[in-house]
Amino acid sequence: MDFEPVTATAARPVPFALLAQEWRDVTFLHWAVAPDAVAPLLPPGLRPDQHEGRTYVGLVAFRMVRVGPPRLPVPYLGTFAETNIRVYSVDRHGRRGVVFLSLDAGRLLPALVGRYVTRLPYRWAAMRLRREPDGTVRYLSRTRWPGRGTVDRLAVRPGEPIGTPTATEAFLTARWGLHTRIAGRTRYLPNVHESWPLRRAELLDHDSGLVAAGGLAEAGAEPVSVLFSRGVSVRFGPPLRA
């Protein structure tokens, strides 16, 4: 099987968009984990995507903005904080993607729609995202339902813009789709957006139970990569067979 290359721009066009959204003030934390630990967490037909013999679990915290059909964003309810835990996948067509182990959303209705309509593992959480005068960005999340009390606290200070990301940084961020189960079948949902404007960041504070709660307790205490982006505008296309 030929794997698609890791590219800074979308690997394929989206013929028409079903959903549009913006991801703003995005922080990426990543830990290296054994591929054998990730494989049981993936939907059928997928395998862990690897870079130099390793795979990763990522915690991505950000503000979701203007979610809705293209040119018809949902007011108020379409903007909320989110923190997700994801692993890296590849399907039988060689398409690289992510699989979400959990997605915590700061509004109840989007969490319900995500959980019961798109069948993604959304949860409702009390969440806060704050930018401070010195540039520090702080995130706080506590799950409400289903389950209660899993806390994630995170603070980073973004550095200077990255001219050319390393191969590992590109592997972790240039993901042009997600893999999930829809109607009992594994599907690939493609997305397109501009190249990530990345910065390396200093991790000032992090206390999280989300990675272990996602089934990857073996992830080390210190992430191997900390990145930040002011964000991108995203469009999702219709699902494809995986």
Average pLDDT, the chain: 95
Distance CA 19, CA 178 (A): 14
pLDDT at 166: 98
The tens digit of pLDDT for each residue in 162-210 reads 999 999 999 999 999 999 999 999 999 999 999 999 999 999 999 888 8
Instruction: Work out how many domains the chain is built from and give that number.
Output: 1
Question: Which residue range is the domain that position 95 belongs to?
Answer: 19-241
Share in percent of the chain as helix, strand, coil (round to 5): 10, 50, 40
**How confident is the model over 103-132, as a mean pLDDT?**
96
The confidence score (pLDDT) of residue 194 equals: 98
* Inside any domain, residue 12: no
* Placement of tokens 């997605």 in the chain: 103
What is the structure's pLDDT at 73? 86
Q: Residue 221 — very low, low, confident or very high, per pLDDT cuts 50/70/90?
A: confident
Q: pLDDT tens across 228-237, in order? A: 999 999 999 9
Res 208: pLDDT? 80
Which pLDDT does position 214 carry in this prediction? 72
∠ CA 115-234-33, rounded to 5°: 65
Quick check: is 8 in a domain?
Answer: no
Is residue 167 in a domain? yes
Residue 1 confidence class, pLDDT cut points 50, 70, 90: confident
The Cα–Cα gap between 99 and 55 comes to 13
Most confident by average pLDDT, 57-61, 115-119, 213-217: 57-61
Residue 1: inside a domain: no
73 in Cβ contact with 41 (< 8 Å): no
Note whether residue 70 is domain-resident: yes
Note whether residue 23 is domain-resident. Answer: yes
Lowest mean pLDDT among 103-107, 185-189, 219-223, 237-241: 219-223
* pTM (predicted TM-score): 0.96
Q: What residues contact residue 73 under an 8 Å CB cut-off, 6+ apart?
A: 20, 21, 66, 67
Non-local CB neighbours of 171 within 8 Å, separated by 6+ positions: 6, 49, 51, 88
The pLDDT tens digits for 126-166 are: 999 999 999 999 999 999 999 998 999 999 999 999 999 99
What CATH number does residue 66 fall under?
2.40.400.10
Residue 130 lies in a domain: yes
